[in-house]
Amino acid sequence: MIKKNIQRIIQYRMCLLKFQNLGFEKIFSYTLAQEIGVSPEQVRKDFSQFHLRGNKKAGYLIQDILDQINDLLHKEDIHKIIMVGLGNIGQALIKYKGFANRNMQLVAGFDIDPAKLKKTCRIPTFHSKEIPAVVKKENVRLGIIAVPEAAAQEACNTLIEAGIKGILNFAPVMLKTPPDVVVQNISVCGELEALVYVTEKDKQK
């Protein structure tokens, strides 16, 4: 499980960029806190844990904090990602233009279905058997799994075998991986089910 403090650091970064674009140079823990819905103490605690320092009375220098967070998140590099599965989700993410300005790049897509490979696509697409070759050639460390549930573990095994170290998994299964490969799961249905639970519970009150 990925620590919550780093997840918040990622949010702080987006927020700092937003304020910088609005022309601000400094920001207080209070402002940042309000923006992402936590307490100012939480912000200062998080910053403290990552050695992000401000100035007493004068708050934080946005550019300074951004530089340091960018270091933490390795924003000096462009992080290559491959997409396994060219169905609805896979195609949608390939079309998504938001990766570039966060230093992420989808470099290739894969599927076992030749029909899926024929669709015109912004990035090169290959049969899944080419995964190891492309991963090695492009030196990719991250992969997204957007294949049907039944094919997910096999896709995962191929990625691990190819040397992928981080996997974002859209399939509704817990993938089995060695300890040096990290998986993050996204389940749209699961999130909706959780929303049903909490909203129906609220209703009863």
Partner DNA sequence: TAGATTGTTAATCGATTAACAATC
| Single residue of 31, 102, 130, 132 touching its own copies by CB under 8 A | 102
Which one of DNA, its own copies, none interacts with residue 133, CB within 5 to 8 A by kind?
Answer: none
> Quick check: 184 and 2 in contact, CB under 8 A?
yes
For position 122 contacting its own copies by CB under 8 A, the verdict is no
Among 35, 64, 130, 138, contact with its own copies (rule: CB under 8 A): 35
The one segment of 15-23, 48-56, 87-95, 151-159 that binds DNA by CB under 7 A:
48-56
Among 88, 113, 123, 127, binds its own copies (CB under 8 A): 88
Question: Cα–Cα distance between 205 and 201 in angstroms, integer?
Answer: 7
Can you tell me which residue has the tokens 């946005």? 62
| Residue 53 is a binding residue for DNA (CB under 7 A) | yes
Does 89 participate in binding its own copies (rule CB under 8 A)?
Answer: yes
Would you count residue 57 as binding DNA (CB under 7 A)? yes
Q: Provide the mask over 146-185, with x wherever binding to its own copies is found by CB under 8 A and - wherever it is not.
A: -------------------xxxx---x-x-----x-x-x-
Tell me, residue by residue from 60 to 89, as one string, x for binding to DNA by CB under 7 A and - for no binding.
x-----------------------------
Question: Which of 151, 143, 81 lies closest to 116 in space, CA to CA?
Answer: 151
Q: Is 45 in the site for DNA (CB under 7 A)?
A: yes
DSSP string across the chain: ---HHHHHHHHHHHHHHHHHHTT-SEE-HHHHHHHHTS-HHHHHHHHHHTT---BTTTBEEHHHHHHHHHHHTTTTSPEEEEEE--SHHHHHHHH---SGGGTEEEEEEEES-HHHHHS--SS-EEEGGGHHHHHHHHT--EEEE-S-HHHHHHHHHHHHHHT--EEEE-SSS-----TTSEEEE--HHHHHHHHHHHHHHHHH-
- Decide if residue 134 touches its own copies (CB under 8 A): no
| Partners of 142 in the β-ladder | 81, 166
Chain residues binding its own copies by CB under 8 A are 2, 6-7, 10-11, 14, 35-37, 72-74, 79, 81, 88-89, 91-93, 95-96, 98-99, 102, 104, 141-142, 165-168, 172, 174, 180, 182, 184, 186, 188-200, 202-203
Give the residues lining the site for DNA (CB under 7 A): 3-5, 28-30, 38-42, 44-45, 47-48, 52-60
